[in-house]
Structure 1
């Protein structure tokens, strides 16, 4: 995978962010996208060997649209400044997300600012067995790869409805997001072992994702 070409395309697109420019350079976009789809499909195959419950998908299904949704976000530019892709994307669960962009690059998983019904399910799971979740996020492997949870600074000031202020896991119950992110710099992405690092992050995230996905599906 030629990630230098991918970043180069995103930088040029960002400087010429219009449908007219994209129409003139559609072939360049399709070539970069096709290259990335092949890379994603090989990664998908390797991840499927790690988890017997892995939900496989083609690269074309994994990769997100590069168009911004202008209907709901009319002030955003026409095109995104990144390529996003979700693997192990079982319906109604959190996927394993890869984000390669001009400003930031990372892999992530979990639920970032989920809808109220999902958040309620996660809080109920923590109420029932928060010790297991704390064991996961406090493990050495998790701590070495992920700097806490995303959005932990954005939390309720009081206890959520249905839970007491002195709950054993009130620190978790106050959270509005349950997601973890591992950043990568461009040098790491251009290195030969980038895919291996992504696979390692996937392995570390498996217990975290299994706990949350069980919470929202059981």
Structure 2
């Protein structure tokens, strides 16, 4: 089993995106998913050695369901075009995880908070108001920019200042944001390399100060 098998399965699924097809290929789906869970368990062990407060996350708990939520998104296909998983999860708080997505229409590694709920966003803004210089220093680092290209585009950011903050606040551009997340796109060729786990670890390390800043903001 390998990522090659995963991509093959996902392409076939997208060409036959229906419950009937999935029912006929349920064993193949579980073979791919079980292999991915094992791969995630290996990565989890490696990440646990990077940081002493890393939250160990079993692969079977990390991997997301492949079904789309049709209740809230009725126009989406029945199944997703990717496998996704979140590691370094602290279920006792609003802790942002380290996310990996492998898919036919693009794969990436991401982390932070994408359009979080109000109380989480308020906590992040409080942290920026108190010490936005630290966040600016993190996201301005050369290696951070080379890895992520900056923060993910926030098309929904405020045009004015959030309630309670002046428009001439020195960190107003950060305060206007509704998302604080980063993403590193990976190609299928990179995923197929034997050192892909090591690449994930390096990206985790680069992302860690950013995630620590945000997680401290929403948990302290």
TM-score range, shorter chain: over 0.9
Q: 8 Å contact 1:48–1:54 — kept in the other structure? A: yes
SS in 2 for 1:179: strand
SS in 1 for 2:7: helix
Structure 1 Cα separation of the partners of residues 106 and 216 of structure 2 = 30
Structure 2 Cα separation of the partners of residues 154 and 133 of structure 1 = 20
Deviation for aligned residue 1:192: 1.7
Counterpart of 1:104? 106
Counterpart of 1:43? 43
Q: 8 Å contact 1:104–1:183 — kept in the other structure? A: yes
Where do 1:72-111 residues align within 5 Å?
Answer: 72-91=72-91, 92-111=94-113
The unaligned stretches of length 5 or more in structure 1 are none
Structure 1 Cα separation of the partners of residues 165 and 11 of structure 2 = 48
Deviation for aligned residue 1:212: 0.3
Write the deviation string for residues 145-203 of structure 1: whole angstroms up to 9, x where unpaired.
01111123432111111100110101100111000000001111111221111110000
Q: Is the aligned partner of 1:149 residue 2:140?
A: no
Q: CA RMSD in A?
A: 0.9
SS in 2 for 1:40: helix
Where do 1:1-218 residues align within 5 Å?
Answer: 2-91=2-91, 92-218=94-220
SS in 1 for 2:108: strand
Structure 2 Cα separation of the partners of residues 15 and 61 of structure 1 = 28
TM-score, scaled relative to structure 2: 0.97
Structure 2 Cα separation of the partners of residues 152 and 59 of structure 1 = 30
Structure 2 Cα separation of the partners of residues 89 and 186 of structure 1 = 26
The unaligned stretches of length 5 or more in structure 2 are none
Structure 2 Cα separation of the partners of residues 193 and 127 of structure 1 = 40
Write the deviation string for residues 15-71 of structure 1: whole angstroms up to 9, x where unpaired.
111111111100100111111111000000000011110110111000000011111
Deviation for aligned residue 1:144: 1.3
SS in 2 for 1:182: strand
SS in 1 for 2:80: coil
